[in-house]
Amino acid sequence: MVITDDMDMKAVSERYGMRESIRLAILAGADIILYGNNLRYDPGVVAKAHQTILDLVRSGEVSEERVRESYKRIMKLKSRLN
């Protein structure tokens, strides 16, 4: 299970932006992408991140299988914690 640090950190957000940072995180093996949402509060950050992932899959930049692999790891960990 790989969880990113806050993707809103300036070192990430100012260099890459949301789309590219999410794409790179997923391709690097991140299973959970974290947004602290406290440096620049955005009530729509979750919806934007979700839509970005959908767009990346639809464009072929990230495979659906790669997203499913993360989902399986997350669900496996959740089942072990219950």
Q: For 21-75, how does the pLDDT look when each residue is reduced to its tens digit (9 = 90+)?
A: 999 999 999 999 999 999 889 999 999 999 999 999 999 999 999 999 999 999 9
- What's this model's pTM, rounded to 2 decimal places? 0.92
| Number of domains the chain is built from | 1
Residue 36 located in a structural domain:
yes
Query: What residues make up the domain containing 77?
Result: 10-81
Any idea what the Cα angle at residue 10 is, between residues 12 and 36, rounded to 5°? Answer: 85
Residue 42 located in a structural domain:
yes
CB 7 within 8 A of CB 21: yes
Q: Is the pLDDT of residue 82 over 90?
A: no
Residue 46 located in a structural domain:
yes
User: Tell me, what's the pLDDT at 73?
Assistant: 97
